[in-house]
Structure 1
């Protein structure tokens, strides 16, 4: 079964979430005795909250991951162009032996090479090697030799490696983004809990301390209302 997409529970930047969470931790440490006695919220849980915040801020953000992905994508494009050049080098010699209207030429399958997908281009490169070797006797007088095919084979290998690296980076980015959202949601839930406790503690005795816990109250109220809807 395909895993459902993970969505953020908050609609503000991660940097703001981190700062709000750290502010709430500072306030909760000040009021920890009241958190413990009235709500069974002790130092151990607060430390876990703080540790999650530290993991969150140390995780690479999407800009970093996208940058890494772009680097390997550029390398894949370079490898693709080198593969096309190696294929064209072989096909220049093939045209010396066969008209491009003949079946022997079309067997190489290099038409519209610029429109091929990555997989099609890789398949094409390997097919050119295979077909060229099968027609070696007809191509002997064109200057085509084993070194050209070895160069093409190496270009295929380099392109396949670049493809795999790029696909791995895409997958890594998806995994990291999902992990970051999961952790951010946990922090957001704990932020709401801490702020709700803090407001409850000071609601009737200290307006200033109550207000200090009203961090992005509109988002908290929205979350609370959503939980109350059946």
Structure 2
């Protein structure tokens, strides 16, 4: 069964979530004696802190996307090498066969510029196979095993680049989902801490009560963050 997409429970950036969690932890440490009345002790608070540290130290989506873009560029370069090697072979094929003949069309390179990665890889290997099958006709054009070996190596590098890129895409998807899962756990724990804090001070200290309030919108969070810095 396909796993359902994981959605964030919060509407602000991960960096803001981290800072909000750290603020909540700082307040809870101050009020730890009261928190123990809710069976929330220092050990649990330390576990919360450790999860926050692990969360912020992990790669974010910008880093993962950058890695994906790097290997994608390498895949594009490998694809260009395949196209160049194919065209080098086909230049010699045209010296022998008109592009309207069946022998030429067997190579299947007419739309090489519009092919998907899989189609291009398939095309490169087909060109090698068809060229070898028609070797007696093409030898006089200067086509030799070196040209086909160059194309074969280009196809091999391209396939490797395709696999690496697909792995990076999958790694990013997994990492993003994992980060959302962890972020949601931190958010839930922060809400628990803040609910306890508000309950502690609801009737005795308005300022301490307000310090535990969570602002759900990003704009509200920016306003409260600026007020704390001023």
TM-score class normalised by the smaller sequence = over 0.9
Give me the whole-angstrom Cα distance separating, in 1, the residues matched to 2:162 and 2:113.
17
Cα distance, 1:209 vs structure 2 = 1.1
Matching residue of 1:222: none
Q: Which runs of 5+ in 2 are unaligned?
A: 219-230
Deviation string for 1:48-97 (max 9, x for gaps)?
11111011101111111111111111111111011000000000001111
Distance 2:116 2:205 in 1: 66
2:11 is the counterpart of 1:11: yes
What's 2:63 paired with? Answer: 64
Q: Hey, what's the Cα distance between the residues in 2 that align with 1:15 and 1:153?
A: 47
Partners of 2:216 and 2:96 lie apart in 1 by 77
Where does structure 1 lack aligned partners over 5 or more consecutive residues?
Answer: 220-230
Separation in 2, partners of 1:111, 1:2: 39
Q: Write out aligned runs for 1:1-230 (5 A).
A: 1-36=1-36, 38-216=37-215
**In structure 2, distance between residues paired with 1:82 and 1:45:** 56
TM-score normalised by length of structure 2: 0.93
**In structure 2, C-alpha distance between the alignment counterparts of 1:218 and 1:160, rounded to whole Å:** 45
Is the contact made by 2:10 and 2:216 (CA closer than 8 Å) also made in structure 1? no
Q: In the aligned structure 1, how far is the partner of 2:54 from the partner of 2:8? A: 17
| Superposed displacement of residue 162, structure 1 | 0.7
Aligned to 1:82, what secondary structure does the other structure show?
helix
* C-alpha distance in 2 between matches for 1:215 and 1:123: 56
Q: Structure 1 residue 205: deviation in Å?
A: 1.1
Q: In 2, Cα distance between the equivalents of 1:42 and 1:50?
A: 13
Residues 217 and 11 from structure 1, CA distance in 2 versus in 1: closer, same or farther, beyond 3 angstroms?
closer
User: Which whole-Å CA distance do the structure 2 matches of 1:209 and 1:115 have between them?
Assistant: 64
After superposing on structure 2, the runs of 4+ consecutive aligned residues of structure 1 that deviate more than 2 Å are none
The alignment's C-alpha RMSD in Å is 1.1
| Alpha-carbon separation, structure 2, partners of 1:130 and 1:217 | 62
Give the 3-state SS of the residue equivalent to 2:44 in structure 1: helix
Q: List per-residue Cα deviations over 1:176-214 (Å, max 9, x = no partner).
A: 100100000000000100000001001111111111111
